[in-house]
């Protein structure tokens, strides 16, 4: 919670003082009882564990969220236009806004899909945008776009119901926006792009880290949860295999696996979790896949650099929300700045995610910094550098006391006929004080996010 305490925050603390803190253990009991898990593989072993949860919510005043909402709608609208353009006319490249080589070297750019336009020309159906609130400017800053398979929405959804039961006083006395509509955002988006047939959530299966989420969202959306072997392609159409042998046409797939694994006939032939032939059905316009194939190019951290320019290019507008100040060593001028200030910057590998490939200059020795310069020189396109954003700590209730932890916010934006910004999100906090890595895969926990109702 930021220090610029808002009236709603004051109300929270006022109510919090009067609450029985022992009841906080009920959150863990709930997650244990209902196996609300985010699983891990460690040393080759599958470990079922719940995601650490902190009971102190992040609270966002309505006016602040209104700006986030507008900013993210603008950004997703733009990124969708960018992807559609890139895979069809590529005007943005022809007009020199983004260097061609920059696009073609992006790991997620799939040239095989050039010329294909998906149902309703929508590619960015479900998006997770990572934000932090800068202590210097007091503004929210965008750190990362996740336009492939962003996960995490089920955790605040699950915990909110429990929160209301354990501590109803907060919800009786504070105006907090309800969040239960998220599954309907998803199903509406699926229905909008559907090519006729049922909706399914395609999961790699029981041993995926986010299987709980797959199962939870499928149930709440009224879609069928399936593994690849439960789908089949005939005559370029995708079918759900019912228990009795009947085939039921699938109109839209919310896939929870990466492009590389989606179709062993098209991508990685060793994929056991993909559906052979699904790409053929997709390219024939017989099934919608969300998110669209090839979105990885927009997740490339090098492309992120160009999003403000894209907004101006496609919409003729100034960006409502800003990126963290970012430098591309690919450009000589930026490289000089990066090398001169490497000990103060954060360097990121453009193709990594989940907190991997992130290097904090201030924690590195001189030798390590020199090694990093050598790496950057060898392949400048592979890295970006950003100013270290001092983002607000959130108070966490740890070991019976309030302790500060760095926390970001993953905001969820769903695009169907309209662009909906969910009035909540996944607030992720770092396990240790002073640590900037908040990712779940790095051991981080989560908080509920309360947006003041308009």
Partner 1 sequence: MNHRITANVASNLYWLGRHLERIEVLLIETLQAYDQIIDVYPNAGKKVFTKLGVELGYKNASEFMSEAVFGDHNANIQVLMAHARENAIISRAHLDFEAFGEIIQLHHLCEHASKSAESTSYLFIDDALSLIDEIWGGLLRREQHKTGDYFIQLGKSIEKVDFHLRLGGAITQTQEWLAEIDSITAVLAPNTTFNTIELSEPYSVIEAVNDKINHIVQGEQ
List residues near partner 1 by CB under 8 A: 32-35, 198, 206, 211, 215-216, 218-219, 224-227, 229-230, 240-245, 248
Shortest distance, position 221 Cβ to partner 1, whole Å: 10
Q: Give CA–CA dist 79/419, Å, rounded.
A: 12
Closest CB 277 distance from partner 1, rounded Å: 16
CB contact set of 133 (below 8 Å; sequence gap of 6+):
2, 139, 140, 141, 391, 392, 409
The smaller minimum CB distance to partner 1, of residues 248 and 402, is found at: 248
Phi-psi region of 355 (alpha: psi -120 to 50; beta: other; left: phi over 0): left
Q: Rounded to the nearest whole angstrom, what is the least distance from the CB of residue 180 to partner 1 in the complex?
A: 14
User: What's the CA gap between 110 and 344, in Å, rounded?
Assistant: 35
Nearer to partner 1, 134 or 230 (CB): 230
Query: Residue 388's CB: how many other CB atoms inside 10 A?
Result: 14
Task: Express the helix, strand and coil content of the chain in percent, nearest 5 each.
Answer: 35, 25, 40
- The residue (of 74 and 199) whose beta carbon lies closer to partner 1 is 199
| Cα–Cα dist 357/36, whole Å | 28
Nearest approach, Cβ of residue 326 and partner 1 (Å): 41
Shortest separation between residue 104's beta carbon and partner 1, angstroms: 40
Do residues 254 and 207 touch, judged by C-beta distance below 8 A? no
Least Cβ distance, residue 205 to partner 1 (angstroms):
9
Residue 165 burial by Cβ neighbours in a 10 Å radius (0-12, 13-18, 19+): exposed
In the complex, least distance from residue 35 CB atom to partner 1, rounded to whole angstroms: 5
DSSP string, 121-188: G---SEEEEEEEEBTTT--EEEEEEE-S----THHHHHHHHHHHHH-HHHHHHS-B---TTHHHHHHH
- For residue 248, what are the contacts with CB-CB under 8 A and spacing of at least 6? 197, 198, 239, 240, 242
């Amino acid at each position: 919670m930021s220090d610029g305490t808002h009236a709603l925050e004051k109300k929270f603390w006022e109510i919090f003082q009067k609450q029985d803190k022992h009841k906080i253990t009920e959150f863990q009991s709930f997650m244990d009882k209902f196996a609300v898990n985010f699983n891990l593989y460690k040393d080759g072993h599958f470990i079922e564990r719940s995601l650490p949860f902190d009971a102190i919510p992040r609270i966002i005043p309505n006016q602040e969220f209104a700006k986030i909402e507008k900013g993210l709608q603008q950004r997703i609208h733009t990124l969708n236009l960018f992807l559609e353009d890139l895979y069809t006319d590529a005007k943005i490249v022809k007009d020199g806004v983004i260097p061609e080589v920059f696009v073609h070297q992006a790991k997620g750019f799939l040239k095989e899909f050039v010329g294909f336009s998906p149902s309703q020309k929508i590619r960015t159906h479900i998006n997770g945008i990572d934000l932090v609130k800068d202590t210097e400017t007091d503004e929210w800053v965008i750190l990362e776009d996740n336009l492939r398979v962003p996960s995490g929405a089920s955790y605040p959804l699950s915990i909110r119901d429990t929160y209301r039961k354990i501590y109803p006083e907060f919800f009786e006395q504070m105006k907090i926006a309800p969040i239960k509509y998220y599954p309907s955002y998803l199903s509406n988006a699926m229905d909008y792009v559907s090519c006729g047939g049922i909706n399914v959530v395609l999961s790699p299966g029981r041993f995926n880290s986010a299987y709980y989420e797959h199962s939870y969202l499928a149930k709440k959306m009224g879609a069928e949860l399936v593994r690849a072997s439960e789908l089949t392609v005939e005559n370029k159409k995708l079918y759900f295999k019912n228990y009795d042998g009947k085939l039921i046409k699938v109109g839209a797939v919310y896939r929870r696996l990466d492009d590389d694994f989606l179709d062993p006939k098209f991508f990685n032939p060793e994929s056991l979790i993909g559906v052979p032939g699904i790409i053929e059905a997709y390219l024939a316009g017989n099934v919608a896949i969300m998110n669209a194939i090839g979105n990885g190019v927009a997740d490339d951290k090098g492309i992120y650099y160009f999003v403000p320019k894209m907004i101006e290019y496609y919409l003729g507008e100034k960006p409502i929300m800003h990126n963290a100040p970012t430098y591309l060593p690919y450009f000589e001028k930026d490289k000089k700045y990066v090398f001169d200030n490497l000990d103060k910057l954060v360097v990121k590998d453009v193709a990594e995610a989940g907190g991997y490939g992130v290097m904090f200059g201030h924690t590195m020795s001189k030798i390590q910094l020199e090694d990093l310069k050598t790496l950057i020189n060898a392949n400048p396109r592979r890295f970006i550098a950003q100013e270290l954003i001092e983002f607000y700590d959130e108070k966490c209730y740890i070991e019976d006391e309030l302790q500060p932890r760095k926390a970001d916010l993953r905001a969820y934006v769903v695009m169907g006929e309209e662009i909906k910004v969910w009035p909540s999100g996944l607030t992720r906090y770092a396990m240790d004080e002073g640590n900037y890595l908040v990712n779940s895969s790095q051991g981080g926990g989560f908080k509920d996010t309360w947006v003041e109702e308009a």
